[in-house]
Amino acid sequence: MLTRIDHIGIACRNLDETVEFYRATYGFEVFHTEVNEEQGVREAMLKINETDDGGASYLQLLEPIREDSTVAKWLEKNGEGVHHIAFGTADVDGESEAIRGKGVRVLYDEPRRGSMGSRITFLHPKDCHGVLTELVTSAPADAAGH
Amino acid sequence: MLTRIDHIGIACRNLDETVEFYRATYGFEVFHTEVNEEQGVREAMLKINETDDGGASYLQLLEPIREDSTVAKWLEKNGEGVHHIAFGTADVDGESEAIRGKGVRVLYDEPRRGSMGSRITFLHPKDCHGVLTELVTSAPADAAGH
């Protein structure tokens, strides 16, 4: 079961400037930053609200750190904007297998590491009416509301 | 203060097919449907989770009902995908004026009617790092959790 909007992933060219835009315009503060070498991005998570499944909803601001990262290629084609959306679930393995069984292409054979120690996978946007869709299971501490 | 991700607006060519995709793939059910003549769209709201400000987060699926609607033009240019994101606030009037005062273009002089009796406005995507951004104040009954 998918129980929350976990985050909206937004691709930007300059993470520091974009973080500052969200702080100055809306008052959103950085909850967490990290570099994900595998995804080729530097990212900031802005926590917007908590959710009734014990998790939270974030904006995830993403700046590519390599020209050959998928986010860099996406930016080159589309410019800055919403890159993907992510639904939270307690069971990313089970959900992704069930969804694969319905004929939707799941991009990873096994979930990989996402933000804040989460486990994630992606669904092919062409199978999801144009929306690159991520499934996320938070790390235990985060799932408990920390 | 913006207190939640209110919804993610997703443009689609065929609302019924897209609703069925979200139901069959994820189990998301339609919470509400309506036609917004002013925006030129037929829409379905899928409630994903409740939020700690007493509101909820939705997916808003949008199908244009007129060729000259902004969503129809957007689809022609971009294809199906995420059209906008929306933040919930108790005070769309005050927030939009404060944000206008920071030099971000607000698209309406006064908030207009959005889904489920809400009052909404939009911020220019070019002033928001490529993200068409909506601000929403729910109708009183919805804000109370109905």
* List of domains in chain B: 2-143 (3.10.180.10)
Please say if the pLDDT value at position A47 is more than 90: yes
Chain A positions in Cβ-Cβ contact with residue B26 (cut-off 8 Å) = 2, 87, 99
Average pLDDT over residues B73-93: 98
Record the tokens describing residue B34, joined without a space: 């309506």
pLDDT (tens digit per residue) in A69-100: 999 999 999 999 999 999 999 999 999 999 99
Range with lowest mean pLDDT among A40-49, B54-63, B92-101, B135-144: B135-144
A51 touches chain B (CB under 8 A): yes
Does B80 qualify as catalytic in the annotation? no
A1 touches chain B (CB under 8 A): yes
Q: B143 pLDDT band (50/70/90 cuts)?
A: very low
Instruction: Work out whether strand B30-36 and strand B41-50 pair parallel, antiparallel, or are unpaired.
Output: antiparallel
CA A101-A116-A128 angle, 5° bins: 30
Chain A positions in Cβ-Cβ contact with residue B4 (cut-off 8 Å) = 48-49, 57
Quick check: B129 and A21 CB within 8 A? Answer: yes
Q: What is the dihedral of CA A97, A10, A143, A47, to 10 degrees?
A: -160
Average pLDDT over residues A32-47: 96
Q: Per residue in B71-98, is it b (16+ CB within 10 Å) or e — as a string?
A: bbebbeeeebbbbbbbbbbeebeebbee
Record the tokens describing residue A84, joined without a space: 């993907």
Cα gap B121→A9, rounded to integer Å: 22
B51 touches chain A (CB under 8 A): yes
Q: Which of residues 69-108 of A touch B (CB under 8 A)?
A: 79-82, 85, 87, 99, 102, 104
Please measure the distance between the N-terminal and C-terminal CA atoms of chain B and give it in whole angstroms. Answer: 22
Quick check: B18 and A80 CB within 8 A? Answer: no
Query: Considering chain B, what percentage of its residues have pLDDT values greater than 70?
Result: 96
Does B134 qualify as catalytic in the annotation? yes
CA-based radius of gyration for chain A: 15
CA B69-B62-B26 angle, 5° bins: 165
**Phi and psi for B126 in degrees, rounded to 5?**
-70, -20
* pLDDT value for B145: 45
DSSP state of B118: -
B28 touches chain A (CB under 8 A): yes
B143 touches chain A (CB under 8 A): no
- Tell me the count of A-B CB pairs closer than 8 A: 110
In the set A39, A63, A84, A95, the catalytic residue is A84
Does A134 qualify as catalytic in the annotation? yes
Quick check: B129 and A87 CB within 8 A? Answer: no
A112–chain B nearest CA distance, Å: 20
